[in-house]
Amino acid sequence: MSTSPVYPQADRELTQMRQSHAPSQFAAFQQFSQQAFAKGALDVRTKQLIAVAVAHVTQCPYCIRGHTKAALKAGARSVGGRRLLRST
């Protein structure tokens, strides 16, 4: 029986491992992310708030944490009257 967590802690080492195992896919995801969250018809804050909602639907802890952090950085403070909490 494995004792490793289902979702290992996201850190620089995990990112480097992903990049080394699938460099073209990693680069494509980075490019997609930069384009998707660039300022356009919707501002970055709104896009990140949408991403937080989608991340909760998909239940991806990496996405929840990352998009919550990005939404706060973009100026979000609450969603639907509820305070947006920093995921740790």
Taking only the tens place, the pLDDT of each residue in 30-76 is: 999 999 999 899 999 999 999 999 999 999 999 999 999 999 999 99
Specify the pTM. 0.76
- 2/61 Cα distance (integer angstroms): 20
Helix ranges, the chain (H): 12-21, 23-36, 44-58, 61-73
Structure confidence at residue 9 (pLDDT): 85
| Average pLDDT of the segment spanning 4-19 | 86
Stretch (H or E) spanning 83: strand 82-83
**79: its two tokens:** 């969603």
Whether residue 47 lies inside any domain: the answer is yes
Are 88 and 46 found together in one domain?
yes
Q: Which of 7-11, 30-34, 81-85 has the lowest mean pLDDT?
A: 81-85
Is residue 50 one of the residues assigned to a domain?
A: yes
Q: Looking only at Cα atoms, what is the longest distance across the chain? A: 49
Residue at token pair 């990112």: 15
Q: What is the pLDDT of residue 39?
A: 86
Range of the domain at 77: 41-88
Same domain, 51 and 83: yes
> Is 69 found in the same domain as 86?
yes
Q: What is the pLDDT of residue 88?
A: 46
